[in-house]
Amino acid sequence: MEIRRTFGNIRRFREISFILAKYGFGFVTKNIKFSKTKPSTTPEQFRKLLEELGPTFVKFGQLLSTQENILPYEFIEELKKLQDDVTPFEFSKVKSIIETEFKKPLNEIFSYFNENVEASASLGQVHKAILTSGQTVAIKVKRPNIEKTIQADIELLKQIGDYLNSKLKLYFNFEIKPFIIEFEETIKKELDYEIEAQYMQTFKENLSQFKNIYVPKVFWEYTSRNVLTMEFIDGYKATNIESIRSAGFNTEKLATEGAKVFWIQIFDIGLFHADPHPGNIIIMHDGRICYLDYGMVGRVTEEDKLNLVEMILGFIQKDADKILLSVSNFTLNTNILNNAYLKSDIVELIDIYHSLPLKRIYISKVLKDLFKILKKYNIIISKNSLRLLRAIIIADGVGKQFYPDFNFTETAKPYFESFAKKLYSPFRIFKKILQPNATYAILANKIPFLFKKAEGALESGHIKVEIEINGLDKLINTIRLVAKQIGISLIISAVILGSSILIKDHLGKTFLGLPIKLIIPIVIIIILGIGIYKADKDLK
């Protein structure tokens, strides 16, 4: 194994090698023979190792803690304990960074600035202040030189990635390099506070209609890549349940409201806070729920929603094939559909939950059990899907901290039902079919070419077919019925194509959500569809 020989790299590499050896991982940086017996390093030692290696490795460990379907359970639980708290850096540096970013003395921006930190983490720290305009704000300031430190560590991780793969596969059966790449992408976004501010703005715009949710306001005038200025939120951290109870809040109601906040993000806006742990949640004095730290955000497609709903329905309906199909979509791996052993394990899992009512089915437990099965068959869930499923597990856990008997799945029921009704609505299906589509235009352009091609074939060729067969009358009737089906299908296609052209520019007035000028084509399609159905019955 070779490391790029720069002074900084060599010094950091030696430091990392010493700490790795200290915790029983010296084999990682030494090209020596190593037996296939598992190392004596415990999950706790691994967590302490990452903490001592510094901010980059703490963040990397936090990413690994999300891989429930890959790492052993005991490692996952230990990595979740990784502490992001570090010693604050000097106020003089905070002052210098802010004044450099905004080209103004600190006292021209703030009438008051608390030199003591509200919170300190590996990437930055937060101070409370009051703008000269009177608003109380929280200012997040990035740690000096942190980008250089992280980039240097990532370069070292990349260089030893191949070697790490060969060693870690002996124990965890996964490749480390894709996670290094994902980690680099994630950490770069977290290091740019303008990206986080933009996410906050998007959430605020989309969630403003919901009374039980609040998103802090961003003060763009004093926000940059290195500084984020937002509205200061006063309230109770979700980590302190006792103080919330003492303030007179009903924690069962808060658990339910928190779940609603989560499902609204998934099913109503398609954008969700991907790290909704208690440290990132404030219960405001008026009972509203406020998320902090928008560094990790996920997006949900209609397909993701459908897969989630279908997977839960699979457990309720005792349908292993439905679950397998959903899982294959989450993993982007269709090969698992034919895995009889995997299906057998899922059937066993279904048997555990099938007899239970919905209110006794805990979605986080279902997902964790499913992850164990997928890990058994080395099936890896795609990054975006895993982010969604992990957020569900975290949100469910937070609800149980507020109220031990809380059922996250029960609160999801109305959102699942609403989505299913909308998805399978006949009007939605017809609107989807009749929506102007580039495919129709491409097909229309091809029709003259196809007729020309057929005409040329007839002019240049000579076709002679002789058939001698028993039951010729039956065959002729069958051909006629098939021709009828084809003819009706072509008419339907023509109606759809013609309708899409008619509504290309102006939809006009609507009735029941459909343009009036499309009602007649829809009726025609239904009548012709009945014709196809009858022809199909006659064929049988």
Distance of CA 218 to CAs 204, 242, 280, 296, Å? Answer: 9, 30, 17, 17
Closest CA to 106 of 96, 114, 119: 96
Q: Which of the 8 DSSP states describes residue 220?
A: G
- Contact criterion met (CB below 8 Å) for 148 and 164: no
Cα(41)–Cα(20) distance, integer angstroms: 11
Residue found by looking up tokens 């980059």 in the block: 56
- Decide the pairing of beta strands 110-120 and 124-131: antiparallel
Task: Measure CA of the first residue to CA of the last residue in the chain; give whole Å.
Answer: 69
Catalytic residue among 153, 275, 304, 396: 275
Alpha-carbon gap, residue 472 to 38, rounded angstroms:
74
Helix/strand/coil (H/E/C) assignment for every residue in 10-34: HHHHHHHHHHHHHCCCHHHHCCCCC
Q: Interhelix angle for 408-423 vs 363-376, to 10°?
A: 80
Half-sphere exposure of 68 (CA within 13 A, CB side): 22
DSSP, residue by residue, 450-477: HHHHHHHHHHH---------S-HHHHHH
275: annotated active-site residue: yes
Partners of 141 in beta bridges = 125, 227
Q: 3-class SS at 306?
A: helix
The residue among 405, 363, 359 whose CA lies nearest residue 266 is: 363
Question: What 8-state DSSP symbol labels residue 234?
Answer: P
Report the run of H or E that residue 206 belongs to, with start and end.
Answer: helix 193-207
- Read off the DSSP letter of residue 175: -
Does residue 300 contact residue 309 with C-beta atoms inside 8 Å?
no
Give the other-Cβ count within 10 Å of 53's Cβ.
19
As annotated, the active-site residues are 275
